[in-house]
Amino acid sequence: MSSRRQPDDGLLTRYLLGSLPEEETERLDEMSVTDDEIAWRLRAVENDLVDAYVRGEMSGGTLERFRSTYLASPERRKKVVVAKALLALRPARPVADERPAMARVSRFPIERWALAASLAAIAAGGAYLYFVPRSAPNVPHVVTARNAPTPQATRVSPALATVSFVLSPPTRGGTVSLPALAVPAGTQLVNLRLQLESDDFPEYEAALRNLATNEIVWRSAAAKASLDGAGSAVGFDLPAGVLKPQNYSIELSGLPQNGRAELIASYAFRAAPP
Amino acid sequence: MDSGGERYLEMRRRLELYFERRNCLAPDELADETLNRVARRLEEEGSIAADCPAQFCYVIAKFVFQESLRRTNTLVELPPDAPLATAPQVETNEHVLACLDDCLQSLAAADRELIVEYYRGEQRAKIEQRRALAARLGVSTNALTIRACRLREKLERSLKERLSER
């Protein structure tokens, strides 16, 4: 082995991209197995290299080498998948943003449960949660409190116990965690209000996809969007029994006056055990 | 202090990465083959003549690599302008995100926070953030790097398992 000089990150990057002379490559091969510090630094540099590729921070010869050498390996391509997923993580919505809504929820008789669950849901990644015990007398509908009457509300039997969730529009960045929707035991209907980036269609329909099996497990009827405090949203009621504790995606399609339905957004979430 | 089992796994991982960087098609199998040979040699001779066990593992790994070359068990480098067939495969869809979410949930809350924070930010800002994170946790940046790498590997393994379950 030649010298024991500690290689810098630039040299480690060139090693990972296979652009070092054979002698130097062998020196680093050996260090990657025998030298604790280099073994870990290589992994760190490799992670940062893959992240740089995924973020589009790579260019020129480095990008060419990365594509031709690094991505030739299926194992390494899996690292790119992980890096993309990690990049998609973003911080949870700040709880402070939603304090007024929480204050309104806390007026309900189930205030402790609702507040705790709401905070948990928001901390988990951007879902707002309201418990709407519509069978209870003299209890204001929380969505009404946000000046957003929902067409679905009128279709629901007042005797049915319903939970209402509001899902934010999906962002390119994704979320740190999927919003966790905890449906309390005894709930019969789940009202999902999907916030829209823009209301471009006369009607919408939704399909619930089980992400574990990739199957559509429920489809809605057509519904119109309406305005609420945060913009346009469209609401759907689905039977609570459809949801099991696992990950789902709501696929929202716009229905034009003439023509075929157009998929416009997916809202992923996790149904949490009650 | 690492246990013997952890040291074994760490050596296996290093060998796997060595073969992976050498573009071998089945780096995990070659890593196992290397460690099997090391174990056999130990059994036969009772000890190994090398400065350290890791050095000995590397020497054996080189042999294993040379043999694998003879079996042409390596990947062919793509020309730089080759169309990237990999692009659709690295698409991050919601299923991957959902699996990642499950994997993240399986980590301790502090670890979850650490890995998200460690890999956030771009270039220079990232370096500063990592320094600040290390200071906040009361560890050196080196120790933080190792911890983040370990967590990421754990996450990668867990994600691969979940994705292959489909």
Question: What is the tens place of the pLDDT at every residue in B71-114?
Answer: 764 555 555 555 443 333 434 466 777 788 888 888 888 888 88
Whether A144 shows a pLDDT value over 90: the answer reads no
Within 79-98 of A, beta carbons closer than 8 Å to B belong to 79-82, 84-89, 91
- Per residue in A220-257, pLDDT (tens digit) is 888 888 876 567 888 888 888 888 888 888 888 888 88
* pLDDT tens digit sequence for A22-72: 999 999 999 999 999 999 999 999 999 998 888 888 888 888 888 888 887
pLDDT, residue B135, reads: 92
Q: What is the mean pLDDT of chain A?
A: 68
B117 part of contact set with chain A, CB < 8 Å: no
Q: How confident is the model at residue A103 (pLDDT cuts 50, 70, 90)?
A: very low
Answer yes or no: do A47 and B119 touch at CB < 8 A: yes
Q: Kindly give, in sequence order, each residue whose CB lies less than 8 Å from that of residue B81, ignoring residues fewer than 6 positions away.
A: none
The better pLDDT of the pair A227, B29 is held by: B29
Long-range contacts for A92-97 (Cβ within 8 Å, ≥24 apart)?
A92/A122, A92/A123, A92/A124, A92/A125, A92/A126, A92/A175, A92/A176, A92/A177, A93/A122, A93/A125, A93/A126, A93/A168, A95/A119, A95/A122, A95/A123
- For the record, the structure tokens of A87 come out as 């990049």
- Determine the residue among A82, A209, A263 to mutate to test chain B binding: the one whose Cβ has the most chain B Cβ atoms within 10 Å: A82
Res A147: pLDDT: 27
Q: Name the CA radius of gyration of chain A, rounded.
A: 25
Say if the Cβ atoms of B115 and A75 lie within 8 Å.
no
Q: What's the pLDDT at A159?
A: 43
Integer Cα distance of B85 and A77 in angstroms: 11
Whether A135 shows a pLDDT value over 60: the answer reads no
A106 touches chain B (CB under 8 A): no
Residue A115 pLDDT level (bands cut at 50, 70, 90) = very low
Banded pLDDT at B3 (limits 50, 70, 90): low
Name the phi and psi angles at A110, rounded to 5: -95, 30
pLDDT at B22 (0 to 100): 87
Cβ–Cβ of A73/B84 closer than 8 Å? Answer: no
pLDDT in tens, B126-144: 888 899 999 998 999 889 9
pLDDT for position B116: 83
Q: For residue A195, what pLDDT is reported?
A: 83
Residues of B in contact with A82 (CB under 8 A): 100, 152, 155-156, 159
Listed ranges A155-169, A258-272, B24-38, B89-103; the one with the highest mean pLDDT: B24-38
The pLDDT, as a whole number, for residue A32 is 96
